[in-house]
Amino acid sequence: MELNAKAINMMHCAISVDEYWKVSRCKTVKEIWEKLQVTHECTKQVKETMIDMLQKEYEIFFMKDGEIIDEMFEKFSIIINSLDVMKMTHIEQTLVKKVLRSLTKEWEIKATMVAKRNNLSPLSYDELRRKRLA
C-alpha cells in the first residue's frame, strides 16, 4: 500500500461515519483536509450567532429538580467548554459562583457551606466539580 493510501486510510479511521461519507470520494489527504475545513468552517455571522446562543444558555442555566449533581455539572461543562472554543472564557471564581447560584433548594445548605468554607476565591470550577459539593 502506498504512503498516500495509508494516510487516507488513517484519516478515514480517525473520523466519524458521518464525516467519512463527506470525504469518502477524496483521492488525497489534502482533498480530505480541505473538504473537512470547508464543511466545518463557519462564517463570522454563524460564529456570532453560536456565541449568542451559548451565552444565553449560560445565563439561564440552572439545576433542574430531581437532577443528579453529576448531570448538572456535565451540562454546565458542555456550555462552558463550547464557549471556551469560541474564545469566550470565564474566570474560575465566576464559574464557581454561577454553579452555586444555579443549584436547587435541596443543595442550598451545602452550597452555602462550600462558599463559607472555601471563601470561593481559591476554589476552581474543577475542584468544585471533583468535590461534588461534599
Q: Domain range for residue 110?
A: 44-131
pLDDT over 70 at 56, yes or no? yes
DSSP codes joined into one string, the chain:
--HHHHHHHHHHHHS-HHHHHHHTT--SHHHHHHHHHHHH---HHHHHHHHHHHHHHHHH--PPTT--HHHHHHHHHHHHHHHHHTT----HHHHHHHHHHHS-GGGHHHHHHHHHHH-STT--HHHHHHHTT-
Same domain, 115 and 93: yes
Write out pLDDT tens, residues 64-85: 999 999 999 999 999 999 999 8
Same domain, 52 and 33: no
Same domain, 20 and 82: no
Write out pLDDT tens, residues 25-42: 888 888 888 888 777 766
Same domain, 54 and 10: no
Which of the four pLDDT bands, split at 50, 70 and 90, describes residue 134?
A: low
Same domain, 14 and 50: no
Same domain, 52 and 106: yes
What's this model's pTM, rounded to 2 decimal places?
A: 0.65
Same domain, 51 and 105: yes
Same domain, 30 and 60: no
Number of domains in the chain: 2
Same domain, 104 and 120: yes
